């Protein structure tokens, strides 16, 4: 969740943001057929209708029911359907079976969204008339809900891509968002001397609880690649029997490769690749995407490099954004970038009390951190301290590779 220390937001601006975020979620399903809205291609994914219902349930459960007198849910049973993982709140429908939820119909879900949106507007206007100190915790919850919905906007598109890719007709969702193309700059390395550095969120503005507290880490000198690994470079890894050489892989990753028959990135189709725009030619210069951590790590080892730590990535990106700095190409808006860092709590981390504390903390095990943002990520939903996380076998998200190397910069 977000910081409990920031000042209350301007409520009129928050209302405008609420409307913009909520409306954007619904625009994402324009053009989809009713059958598409219940599509669930695998257990890790969720149907588009479920995402719309879950984000609405979040606002209703944590804000309206406890804090808006007179608000009542249309159907108490919907809490069971749209709860994701909040054990303290109540029971949950099994995640792998969300695609079976043909009811409530999409019209009922959209009507529910309107009712919740109206309730949120009423609540915010009431808070605007009350003392700021009493409003602050609830405004933070509203902001958390909006950030949460933006996460689900990206998940909705990821999950549709996965589902459509399993259809032999290879249906297209529509025009793919821009941002995943080749960089404007040539490759190379950016050198950093390392030392005792600080990472983590500091100052004003929203952040999830897993981005704090700010703390110190020691880094040895390192180099970070200027650009992401390209399709062409990854094709060379494949041509060099990268998927058939066990010495390149972690043991668990090698077992996954054998079990699932991996021989290329998730959506490659020969010389083509599958995308939200359907099947399209694969551009050699574009960054390779939809890789698991195991694949990213194996490629890094094959190339003579390694994956950066999340501290290395954050340090370079933060310093590059300072006045006079040189922004790191493809840091944001291209692909999420795997790091070598396991997803663990920062020193001094404490989850928030109550059910909201389940948001991030209980997932800090058996996963790896990704940094940056992808072309499916909402434009204002990225910052240098953001810690995304997935299991090392996952590859349906838009994830790529930025290499690192130890020591002084090597000649290009």
- 31: domain CATH number? 1.20.120
pLDDT of residue 3 exceeding 60: no
Q: Give the span between the Cα atoms of 247 and 360, in whole angstroms.
A: 34
The token duo for 318 is 């933060």
Q: Give the span between the Cα atoms of 282 and 355, in whole angstroms.
A: 44
**Mean pLDDT of the chain, nearest integer:** 94
Q: Do 339 and 257 lie in a common domain?
A: yes
Quick check: helix, strand or coil at residue 235? helix
Q: Give the span between the Cα atoms of 199 and 219, in whole angstroms.
A: 11
pLDDT of residue 227 exceeding 60: yes
Q: Do 155 and 203 lie in a common domain?
A: no
74-85: average pLDDT: 96
| pTM attached to this predicted model | 0.95
Report the number of distinct structural domains present in the chain: 2
Spatial neighbors of 305 by CB under 8 A, at least 6 apart, are 225, 403, 404, 405
Q: Do 221 and 350 lie in a common domain?
A: yes
Report the relative pairing of strands 272-275 and 278-281 from DSSP bridges: antiparallel
Q: Give the span between the Cα atoms of 87 and 63, in whole angstroms.
A: 17
287-298: average pLDDT: 98
Q: Do 25 and 130 lie in a common domain?
A: yes
Domain span at residue 242 reads 189-406
Please report the pLDDT score of residue 120 as a whole number.
98
193-203: average pLDDT: 96
* Of the candidates 197, 187, 188, 186, the residue with the CA atom closest to the CA atom of residue 221: 197
Q: Do 156 and 205 lie in a common domain?
A: no
Q: Is residue 178 included in any domain, yes or no?
A: no
* Residue spans of beta strands (DSSP E) within 288-364: 336-342
Phi, psi of 120, deg, nearest 5:
-65, -40
Instruction: Among 130, 165, 200, give the residue marking a domain's end.
Output: 165
Q: Is residue 174 included in any domain, yes or no?
A: no
For residue 341, the domain's CATH number is 3.90.1580.10
Q: Is residue 180 included in any domain, yes or no?
A: no
Q: Give the span between the Cα atoms of 76 and 111, in whole angstroms.
A: 15
**Is the backbone peptide bond immediately before 104 cis, with ω within 30 degrees of 0?**
yes
Give the H/E segment covering residue 371: strand 368-372
Q: Is residue 104 included in any domain, yes or no?
A: yes
Q: Do 37 and 91 lie in a common domain?
A: yes
* Of the candidates 28, 328, 283, 335, the residue with the CA atom closest to the CA atom of residue 179: 335
Indicate the Cα dihedral angle 101, 106, 112, 116, nearest 10°.
Answer: 100
Please report the pLDDT score of residue 184 as a whole number.
63
Q: Give the span between the Cα atoms of 341 and 313, in whole angstroms.
A: 11
pLDDT of residue 346 exceeding 70: yes
Please report the pLDDT score of residue 316 as a whole number.
98
Please report the pLDDT score of residue 359 as a whole number.
84
Q: Give the span between the Cα atoms of 157 and 164, in whole angstroms.
A: 10
Q: CA angle, corner 274, sides to 268 and 280, nearest 5?
A: 100
Q: Do 219 and 320 lie in a common domain?
A: yes
Q: Do 276 and 153 lie in a common domain?
A: no
CA 383, 387, 392, 397 dihedral sign is negative
Q: Do 145 and 15 lie in a common domain?
A: yes
Instruction: Among 100, 131, 165, give the residue marking a domain's end.
Output: 165
pLDDT of residue 9 exceeding 60: no
Instruction: Among 132, 165, 198, give the residue marking a domain's end.
Output: 165
Q: Do 144 and 235 lie in a common domain?
A: no
Q: Give the span between the Cα atoms of 197 and 392, in whole angstroms.
A: 27
């Amino acid at each position: 969740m977000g910081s409990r220390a920031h000042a209350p937001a301007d409520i009129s601006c928050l209302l405008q943001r609420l409307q913009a975020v909520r409306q954007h979620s619904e625009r994402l399903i324009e053009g989809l057929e009713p059958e598409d809205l219940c599509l669930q291609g695998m257990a890790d994914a969720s149907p588009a209708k479920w995402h719309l219902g879950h984000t609405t349930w979040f606002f209703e459960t944590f804000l309206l029911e406890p804090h808006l007198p007179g608000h009542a849910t249309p159907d108490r049973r919907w809490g069971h359907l749209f709860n994701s993982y909040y054990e303290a709140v109540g029971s949950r429908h099994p995640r792998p079976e969300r695609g079976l939820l043909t009811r409530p119909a999409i019209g009922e879900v959209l009507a529910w969204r309107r009712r919740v949106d109206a309730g949120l507007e009423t609540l915010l206007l009431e808070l605007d008339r009350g003392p700021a100190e009493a409003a602050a915790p609830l405004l933070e919850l509203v902001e958390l809900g909006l950030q949460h919905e933006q996460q689900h906007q990206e998940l909705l598109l990821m999950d549709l891509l996965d589902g459509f890719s399993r259809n032999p007709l290879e249906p297209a969702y529509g025009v793919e968002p821009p941002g995943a193309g080749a960089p404007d700059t040539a490759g190379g390395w950016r050198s950093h001397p390392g030392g005792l550095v600080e990472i983590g969120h500091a100052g004003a503005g929203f952040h999830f609880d897993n981005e704090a507290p700010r703390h110190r880490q020691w880094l040895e000198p390192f180099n970070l690649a200027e650009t992401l690994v390209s399709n062409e470079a990854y094709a060379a890894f494949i041509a060099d029997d990268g998927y058939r050489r066990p010495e390149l892989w972690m043991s668990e990753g090698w077992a996954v490769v054998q079990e699932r028959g991996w021989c290329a990135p998730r959506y490659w189709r020969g010389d083509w690749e599958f995308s939200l725009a359907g099947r399209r030619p694969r551009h050699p210069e574009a960054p390779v995407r939809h890789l698991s951590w195991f694949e990213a790590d194996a490629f890094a080892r094959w190339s003579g490099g390694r994956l950066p730590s999340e501290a290395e990535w954050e340090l370079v990106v933060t310093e590059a954004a300072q006045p006079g700095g040189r922004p790191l190409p493809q840091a944001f808006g291209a692909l999420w970038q795997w790091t070598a860092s396991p997803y663990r709590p920062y020193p001094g981390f404490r989850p928030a009390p109550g059910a909201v504390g389940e948001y991030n903390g209980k997932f800090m095990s058996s996963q790896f951190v990704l940094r940056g943002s992808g072309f499916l990520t909402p434009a204002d939903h990225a910052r240098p301290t953001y810690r995304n996380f997935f299991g090392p076998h996952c590859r349906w998200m838009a994830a790529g590779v930025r290499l690192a190397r130890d020591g002084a910069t090597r000649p290009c």
